[in-house]
Structure 1
Amino acid sequence: MPVSIITTDDLREFKMELLDDIKNLLSQQHAPISSKKYLKSAAVMDLLQVSPGTLQNLRVNGTLPYTKIGGIIYYDAAEIQKVMDDNRVQHGLNF
């Protein structure tokens, strides 16, 4: 059975690769919600995983801004991201 010797340089290289992977994952989390500028209701329901009634309540109470053109409701993807960011709850981060 061949034996592999791990050096401190190997560990340092592994650490750097691991940190790069973690940074990439974190940057993907903060990526915009969608590459499209405007989303229709069905796409927003899928994205937020809410029912049509909940989406309507979010519109009616002013939580989600929208535009209605010819009976079709559009939501600005950037505004949805802003609402999500503004309502973010962070627990246990008091140092």
Structure 2
Amino acid sequence: MPATIITSDDLREFKMDLLEDIKYLIAQSPTSLSNRYIKSGDVKKMLRISHATLQRFRSNGIIPFTMVGGIIFYEVSEIEKVMKANRVASNSKS
């Protein structure tokens, strides 16, 4: 059985093909940014709230969440719905 020699050009070409395939798969993914799940730390940064406030929101049913194996996940689209539902119109006059 003859040996096959792989050159650095072969590896570079393989890498570029692989990156193109990954980009294509990401572009074809049915999940959008608003349907992804994030963890508590990301929610706290997004809303600029403390851990205690996030805990209170969970306890009071303000923000829905999913717990898998002790890890809490939040759906971004659900957080956006909560934010829109609690929007307060400004009464200021220009």
Same topology, TM > 0.5 = yes
Aligned-pair distance for 1:93? 7.3
CA deviation profile, 1:19-38 (whole Å, cap 9, x unmatched) = xxxxxxxxxxxxxxx92610
Match of 1:35 in 2: 33
Distance (whole Å) between structure 2 residues aligned to residue 35 and residue 93 of structure 1: 33
The alignment covers a number of residue pairs equal to: 61
Match of 2:64 in 1: 65
1:47 paired with 2:30, answer no
- The structure whose Rg is larger is 2
CA-atom RMSD in angstroms: 2.0
Secondary structure of the corresponding residue to residue 90 of structure 1: coil
Secondary structure of the corresponding residue to residue 33 of structure 2: coil
Distance (whole Å) between structure 1 residues aligned to residue 53 and residue 92 of structure 2: 30
Aligned-pair distance for 1:91? 1.9
Structure 2: give runs of 5+ residues left out of the alignment: 1-31
Which runs of structure 1 show a deviation greater than 4 angstroms over 4 or more consecutive aligned residues?
Answer: none
TM normalised by structure 2 equals 0.60
Aligned residue identity for 2:47: L
Distance (whole Å) between structure 2 residues aligned to residue 39 and residue 57 of structure 1: 18
Aligned residue identity for 2:60: N
Alignment of 1:1-95 (within 5 A): 35=33, 37-92=36-91
Structure 1: give runs of 5+ residues left out of the alignment: 1-33
